[in-house]
A and B are shown apart, each in its own frame.
Chain A
């Protein structure tokens, strides 16, 4: 029996055909439809609450684990921030100011309590407000990671689609070679090669630094090109391979052959009938790649002297600035979890069959 969207309607049908009273016939479908909507709504709300609960639990576990691991790390923020000849009074004052005299559990609870009120504390090293530091640094990293992802998609999707459509053709062969070379090259090597070629030798692009968009939009874009390319090219190779493989399988399926037989234009077949359904793996990997891009910005920011989260994190680790590290871990975990939740939610949009299955 074919599954329908509305089991309640199916249950209502036998009542209607059995010759029950008109009142009962008219009332039961409305009551059952209302129950269905109510049940669906309650179920959805429960699902969302469950997701939210899992998110909070995961954040708690991640931050608690990070906190504990930091405490176990050798070295102390006091030693990193004060000179070797610091006086006992300075050391005592530093420990007092940083809250290091409290037991670890008390420190964590205190920090958690502040986080709930939106206070991420002050950096041990710079005494800046941590939220403010992150607010300055995060947009830089997010911009680079987002643009890298978009660039990788813009480059990889057309190439993968055409290579799948024409396997063994020129585009396929060239892209396979380039992808292999790119995948074999570490990101930092790629970055240095791009710097040397486009910055030093050709002088086309600046090789490091950051110009805010509001100060000079053109310079802002120029400073983004090399860092974004460094990150994007590696992911581009991965996306191309993945999508090409899925596309080639999808193009062999009956519905695509049927579309061809009906004489639909090639571009329509490739984009509407094949690409969407081939995108599951790509979308799933994107969720993972986002995390990698966020981590990859650490390397790129170091090479190109960019004031992003990576630079902030490296500086914090080097000086055992626990409070900054904790905040970055919290926000990175939150971002990662939210993005992967969005990835999950995108599946029904790509394939209605997933949506129908979920209503049960």
Chain B
């Protein structure tokens, strides 16, 4: 089992401690408690996202965790308390050289339809992910990977290049394993009839409203789950989620809003957070655009951005980002430096004037592509106003809906953009900021960052990896292609009757492992 402290930056699990849980069958440590778990009851989770499908090949996308994990569990999971990757459905996932990995499955684990979760099942599921026709969002996760069945409970994975960060993929993108029998039988309906080996089975799914689960009597952890059932409610409106929680319709709520979370805490509820993530919303720059390849112009924009003013206006209570990593991120190395350029209008004007002089221009116009949703639109207007403080610079605001913005971002058809990144796994930093990163939408390329990020994959020394992440993050922060104006944070609210939630982080926020959760009688 790998102690991957460095991965805490990207794949963080906050164990919510209210009561200790006697975990006879697991090494998961989820805090201390003086109460014995009670059996029974149905917990209700409120979320603001829903996956398009519960096909295990689709679940590994950014929004599938909350709906899919109850049914499928995951091969591995990351426990924030011990900062380890813990075995879950997999008994171990080990390597000697970072290129060849051995996945050992637990013996006797079956899917809820009675068929075995074995090496054939893992190979079947991963083959589906690799098939382009499946349209799996996890396809990139298997780049440079090959696998084969060694015996009934063993799969050997071979990488083209060394990558000690691979376990993160078995906790998310490649971690959901569905019953091959059920998938074949369901055909096109595989996404609506998921069959896994998780603590629950899906009873009904009313899309856009709620998914209802019942306890899986064949769950591999005997005596678990303690709950009789689970309901995951999709509630898009933030205020309505707050209302539902206050009215007692939700046992647990996941909220990205600091102000709301303070309201809940002031009302006496248990609130955990913000759960640290490498995530945020900010001003993105297309470095493939000739204008933005100019250092002076970029620095002028970065010095003109006042993140404190933006969060004060739009996200009151949130801290203003000063670097890629949050201050409490264990990989952040403040001694090495590496912060965002500070808000300094004079410096911004000087850099901009230098740019104009060199370019032989008297003024410049840039276009900021932004979202239309209320809060983001408000933030975009503030950014436009701030950048407009630079004399000679005009920033036009082009507000478009999310699908249009995503299309433009993917196609590189933008100058400035209101961008965001939610890095569920630490490798996300590599994918986003490495020159060869598959999610490098901004055209960023920095040899120092590439070198540091290569070390994060090629070294199995946690201290070396942590230092490498710190160097990379610091270097990125000094001249970022995406300058956060707000750290994305997630808060978990829970009723006093809920105990022993184990938290994790995925692309859209905080997820909950329910196998140890219980309710007061």
Q: A-side interface residues toward B, CB under 8 Å? A: 73-76, 79-87, 89-90, 92-94, 97, 122, 125-129, 133, 136, 192, 195-196, 199-200, 203, 206-210, 301-307, 311-312, 315, 318-320
Min CB distance B187 to A, Å, is 10
Partner of A94, one of B135, B206, B240: B135
Q: What is the chain B residue whose CB lies nearest that of A98?
A: B135
Question: B243-278: contact bitstring with A at CB < 8 Å (1 yes, 0 no)?
Answer: 110111100000000000000000000000000000
Question: B327 near A: Cβ within 8 Å?
Answer: no
Q: Within 8 Å CB of A85, what residues of B?
A: 140, 431, 438-439
Give the contact-size bracket for chain B. 35 or more
Min CB distance A193 to B, Å, is 12
Q: B-side interface residues toward A, CB under 8 Å? A: 52-53, 61-62, 132-133, 135, 137, 139-140, 188-189, 191-192, 206-210, 233-237, 239-240, 243-244, 246-249, 400-404, 406-410, 431, 438-439, 441
Given A87-B139, A94-B135, A305-B235, check contact A207 B188 (CB 8 Å).
no
Partner of B192, one of A87, A128, A195: A128
Min CB distance B252 to A, Å, is 16
A260 to B410, CA, bound (A): 76
Q: Within 8 Å CB of B439, what residues of A?
A: 84-85
A79 to B210, CA, bound (A): 26
Given A126-B191, A207-B247, A315-B208, check contact A79 B53 (CB 8 Å).
no
A–B pairs, 10, beta carbons within 8 Å: A74-B404, A79-B406, A93-B132, A133-B207, A207-B243, A303-B240, A305-B234, A305-B235, A311-B209, A312-B208
Q: What is the chain B residue whose CB lies nearest that of A304?
A: B240
Contact B61 A75 (CB under 8 A): no
Contact A90 B209 (CB under 8 A): no
A93 to B243, CA, bound (A): 43
A207 to B249, CA, bound (A): 8
Given A84-B441, A90-B132, check contact A127 B137 (CB 8 Å).
no
Given A79-B410, A196-B243, A305-B234, check contact A126 B209 (CB 8 Å).
no
Given A85-B431, A126-B191, check contact A208 B249 (CB 8 Å).
yes
Given A209-B210, A209-B233, check contact A122 B407 (CB 8 Å).
no
Contact B247 A203 (CB under 8 A): yes
Partner of A319, one of B137, B403, B441: B403
Contact A89 B240 (CB under 8 A): no
A80 to B438, CA, bound (A): 17
A315 to B439, CA, bound (A): 25
Contact B133 A318 (CB under 8 A): no
Contact A90 B243 (CB under 8 A): no
Given A79-B407, A192-B239, check contact A210 B247 (CB 8 Å).
no
A83 to B236, CA, bound (A): 21
Given A97-B133, A319-B52, check contact A86 B240 (CB 8 Å).
no
A86 to B441, CA, bound (A): 12
